[in-house]
């Protein structure tokens, strides 16, 4: 769905008539400037009032996006799974899985290398408080994680917005529909086609709504960014600035080496990709939610990158939930940071363990703001850095948590970029799934 420039004149005409991307970028830059200025005077009436109102307008944007997440996943996944043959579904799924595994390995490795070069936290000598009670987080059993993917009541999952069970349910319904559409029984095939048309139309309506919501994005982006900077700005100094830098270097390296390398390998122009993917990257950056960004991700991969909705509609919702390279880079670097900061740099064995847990933790991370920070606790536990209240580890973790919004923006943008790169590469390898005319501009 393209932007529809309004014919009306005046401020609204100018607003709706100008380029959406430029408007979003303007919101981003203005938000950062206003936030930093206000952040210099925390606690003043102006700053407090501004944060109050900006929170309102920012939350409105997040709510609008969240509103359409469940319908987007449900309708687009059913349509996606139903519009290709079951055998193609298996083949595409296999390739996607392979892509996820390869990029996860690259991302964690880059995270560890960057941490070893930067050595963030070294010499920080963090100490904990004495006599504090102990508290440890535990990793849910793998069997439970797997079983919970299958909903016992799909309606309950839809109502609660549990993404993985919804994906599972939508996939099986879509596959069932795909078989019925091919049925030899004419009545059944006709019914299946009718149902398919209804669900496909519902998906179209939702995409239309997404386009409308994006018109509000520049204002939402301005508000969200301004709040982050107004609250965090002055705190981001010294070691924290350094660990932030390390995380962003890791993310950018992964973007260029991991995604750039893979795209080049598959004959895709990386610059064209970034230009097309930009809108979703920025939305992810400011909303800090892969799931919340999903509607935009779906739209840009189809409109700008030319990926057929037949595959994007089922690969992207899965990717937004399980494929999180940005989060694994963040976990790897921050765990190393905490090790250095408390004077227990991770050993080779611990780093190997960290590679595995960072990957698994990223898979288990929900595509919502701050989820990765919770998984970081679990990764720390598995390498023996127990987050016990009052300990040096807990104190350093709290520091990282303090700047989580900044780290989350970068990692979420990378998570979403990884999803888009993956679906584009898979589409390129499938007959008729990538509209290459979009790449020749």
- The contact set with ligand ASP (CB under 6 A) reads 288-290, 324, 327, 365, 367-372, 408, 411-412, 415
Cα–Cα distance for residue pair 118/128, rounded to 1 Å: 24
Is residue 2 classed as helix, strand or coil in its secondary structure?
coil
Strand partners, 345: none
Choice between 126 and 416, CB closer to ligand ASP: 416
As measured in angstroms, the least distance from the Cβ of 3 to ligand ASP is: 25
DSSP 211-271: HHHHTTHHHHHHHHHHHHHHHHGGG--HHHHHHHHHHHHHHHHIIIIIIIHHHHHTT--HH
Choice between 39 and 410, CB closer to ligand ASP: 410
Q: Which residue is nearest to ligand ASP (CB)?
A: 372
Choice between 285 and 314, CB closer to ligand ASP: 285
Cα–Cα distance for residue pair 406/289, rounded to 1 Å: 13
How is residue 397 annotated by DSSP? H
Choice between 327 and 391, CB closer to ligand ASP: 327
As measured in angstroms, the least distance from the Cβ of 251 to ligand ASP is: 12
As measured in angstroms, the least distance from the Cβ of 409 to ligand ASP is: 9
Cα–Cα distance for residue pair 114/112, rounded to 1 Å: 5
CB contact at 8 A, 404 and 231: no
Question: What are the residues whose beta carbons fall under 8 Å from the beta carbon of 316, sequence distance 6 or more?
Answer: 294, 297, 298, 301, 419, 420, 423
As measured in angstroms, the least distance from the Cβ of 345 to ligand ASP is: 24
Alpha carbon 317 to its chain centroid, in Å, reads 10
As measured in angstroms, the least distance from the Cβ of 177 to ligand ASP is: 29
As measured in angstroms, the least distance from the Cβ of 225 to ligand ASP is: 15
Choice between 173 and 243, CB closer to ligand ASP: 243
As measured in angstroms, the least distance from the Cβ of 397 to ligand ASP is: 15
> What stretches of 73-187 adopt beta strand conformation (E)?
none
Choice between 200 and 407, CB closer to ligand ASP: 407
Choice between 258 and 369, CB closer to ligand ASP: 369
CB contact at 8 A, 408 and 78: no
């Amino acid at each position: 769905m393209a932007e529809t420039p309004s014919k009306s004149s005046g401020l609204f005409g100018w607003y709706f008539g100008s380029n959406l991307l430029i408007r979003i970028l303007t919101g981003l830059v203005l938000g950062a400037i206003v936030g930093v200025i206000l952040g210099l005077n925390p606690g003043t009436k102006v700053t407090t009032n501004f944060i109050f109102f900006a929170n309102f307008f920012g939350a409105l944007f997040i709510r609008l996006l969240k509103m359409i997440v469940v319908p987007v996943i449900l309708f687009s996944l059913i349509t996606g799974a139903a519009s290709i043959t079951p055998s193609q579904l298996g083949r595409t799924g296999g390739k996607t899985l392979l892509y996820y595994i390869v990029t996860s390995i690259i991302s964690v490795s880059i995270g560890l290398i960057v941490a070893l070069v930067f050595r963030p936290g070294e010499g920080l000598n963090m100490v904990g408080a004495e006599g504090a009670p102990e508290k440890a987080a535990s990793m849910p059993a793998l069997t439970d994680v797997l079983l919970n993917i299958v909903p016992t009541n799909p309606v309950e999952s839809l109502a609660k917005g549990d993404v993985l069970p919804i994906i599972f349910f939508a996939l099986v319904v879509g596959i069932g529909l795909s078989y019925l559409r091919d049925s030899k029984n004419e009545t059944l095939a006709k019914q299946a086609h009718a149902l398919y048309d209804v669900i496909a139309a519902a998906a179209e309506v939702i995409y239309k709504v997404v386009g409308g919501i994006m018109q509000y994005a520049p204002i939402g982006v301005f508000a969200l960014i301004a709040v982050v900077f107004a609250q965090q700005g002055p705190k981001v100094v010294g070691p924290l600035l350094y660990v932030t830098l390390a995380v962003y270097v890791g993310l950018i390296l992964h973007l260029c080496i991991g995604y750039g390398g893979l795209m080049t390998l598959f004959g895709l122009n990386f610059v064209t990709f970034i230009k097309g993917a930009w809108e979703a990257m920025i939305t992810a950056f400011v909303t800090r939610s892969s799931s919340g960004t999903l509607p935009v991700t779906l739209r840009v991969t189809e409109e700008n990158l030319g990926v057929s909705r037949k595959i994007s509609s089922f690969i992207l919702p899965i990717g937004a939930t399980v494929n999180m390279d940005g989060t694994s880079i963040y976990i790897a670097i921050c765990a190393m940071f905490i090790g250095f900061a408390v004077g227990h740099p991770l050993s080779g064995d611990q780093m190997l363990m960290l590679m595995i847990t960072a990957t698994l933790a990223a898979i288990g991370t929900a595509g919502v703001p701050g989820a990765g920070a919770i998984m970081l606790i679990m990764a720390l536990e598995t390498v023996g850095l127990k987050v016990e209240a009052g300990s040096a580890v807990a104190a350093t973790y709290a520091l990282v948590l303090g700047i989580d919004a900044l780290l989350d923006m970068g990692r979420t943008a990378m998570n979403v970029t990884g999803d888009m790169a993956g679906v584009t590469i898979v589409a390129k390898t499938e007959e008729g799934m990538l509209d290459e005319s979009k790449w020749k501009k």
